[in-house]
Chain A
């Protein structure tokens, strides 16, 4: 409570009540700004932790193995060199390789890159196609036991993969398909419970008008599916294809079991093997980082080009 004296000595300025409102406002504004600054700092720290390893991967891949221990805190490459990439891409001689701390095994990441592309592409194309077809049947067509079969397919999602992986290995072995592309892609080629679930949700959401009109015009189910439904659902289908591609590219466990041979070895498996290659026991760190960069690059490129789709798609899959 201001006294009469204080009121007069304030020298004709605005009365007390409005001033306290602006002070509280200022307090709130300052607090909000502090929160914002703090939040940005935290977000910045998160981004730093997220991105630093990628930078470090690059930095090490351009370094010389021998110089690494001595310059371990140098943020720039230690003795900049392209040797690591040469070793990894098979452009380096065996003796050079040994001298630089690498191994003598003929590594040729071009082959492994090719293998990853083949496996990921074949898997994506067929898995998406067949899953879309099945999803359409579940969403739009009426047939006996439809919901029971769907529940069965979904149940497959809850089974830990290793339970079927071991016998699948034996199956692929018995078919004589170990160390072939067919052996690697076959189990995932024909269906994926998640893909069917994902696409069925979409198909359910599409309006039936156009389909009904086509049906009345006498179009067969296949025509309706390929000429109408698929083009209409191109967004979710291509997003699914993208996710499938990335998933297949990064797969490790199954290709490790059935695709060890050089001709069909994919990048992830090659990385694991590369880690254990050097005769002296110390990993060829620069080469290893170069190899991981090469393994990660294609996915990063695809993401840079088509990333918007992936980012926007994250949300549908989670909530439903």
Chain B
């Protein structure tokens, strides 16, 4: 036992230090390369090469039928003056803000409630339900529930005496309806994430604060929120990146309308590439989106890292 542990210690010490190239075991390297091979092939074939090709397409007038011609920066110039593109960014931004904002707040509420009331598996399972179904399933069910003429929600509004609302047909409401549908779909998952985070907060802190006479509200602000910050940040970053990819819900309900009010960037790119045969332009737009997201994520990480440093 002692010889094994000392051998272990030696090998650990070896691996802890930064080994020179010659220190790599040939056999180990070969095995590692074999292990990584399938993933690496997938990465190169379906990620790297397409990415390069995508950049290539963006400089052409490719339309899926024929090769198209080289057009230099024309597609990018067109982006700048394309009002539907800027509208798409604006619409997507509206969606992201409402979706992520509302979802985080609601999920936090649910997580805290569950934390204080019940840790039942059943409740957790039920809450997770909407997350498990496909986006298109959620979209279609809500399309039916929120229908202007015969949907039950509008009938309820009518019954109470409020005006019927055309949730999908009113350009001012449509994108928010889409956002709310996705809040419904994802709030359970986000709640469970935060719930897991809440579990890591030591109970003693709450006990101590209740002895000191602090109410629920105070202990939430003073204890829960600050200690949950790292989890919240991760949740926010992931949610924002994910929200930019909204497509499914719109594809089966509003298809970009009415009046382009739900023409989010993903849908616009898809429409351009496959319905209007403007593959080259769509590729340029996808590259632009990539650049924008990179900047957004960079800013997000910078801001949150600064906050962390302040806390410390």
Contact = CB atoms under 8 A, between A and B. Distances in A.
A touches B (Cβ under 8 A): yes
Interface string B153-194: 001100100000000000000000000000010001100110
A252 B32 contact: no
Given A141-B28, A246-B132, A275-B252, A314 B193 contact: yes
A151 to B, nearest CB: 12
Nearest to A116: B134
B245 A303 contact: no
Interface stretch (A36-44, A88-96, A105-113): A36-44
A202 interface: no
A69 B35 CA distance: 59
A257 B245 CA distance: 16
Contact of A272 (B39, B125, B231, B251): B251
A315 B248 contact: no
Given A56-B152, A163-B54, A167-B54, A141 B137 contact: no
A160 B248 CA distance: 15
Contacts of A295: 133-134, 136-137
Interface in A37-93: 39-40, 42-43, 46-47, 49-51, 53-54, 56-57, 60, 68-69, 72-73
B7 to A, nearest CB: 8
B282 A159 contact: no
Given A50-B184, A190-B38, A252-B134, A163 B282 contact: no
A163 B151 contact: no
A47 B274 contact: no
Given A56-B145, A256-B251, A318-B197, A134 B57 contact: no
Secondary structure call for the A interface: helix
A128 B159 CA distance: 51
A312 to B, nearest CB: 9
B273 to A, nearest CB: 6
B21 to A, nearest CB: 6
Contacts of A39: 113, 116-117
Contact of B47 (A40, A156, A166): A156
A122 interface: no
Contacts of B43: 152-153, 156, 190-191
B78 to A, nearest CB: 17
Contacts of B200: 319
B197 A315 contact: yes
Interface string A158-195: 11111110111011000000000000001111110000
B129 A50 contact: yes
A56 B60 CA distance: 49
Contacts of B130: 50, 53
A123 B97 CA distance: 33
A33 interface: no
7 contacts: A73-B155, A142-B32, A152-B43, A164-B51, A191-B40, A213-B4, A307-B128
User: Which 10 residue pairs are nearest across A and B when measured between Cβ atoms?
Assistant: A190-B42, A315-B196, A250-B134, A191-B39, A167-B50, A134-B39, A221-B31, A137-B35, A318-B193, A130-B38
Given A188-B46, A221-B32, A300-B133, 7 more contacts: A164-B51, A166-B50, A167-B51, A190-B45, A252-B251, A272-B252, A318-B234
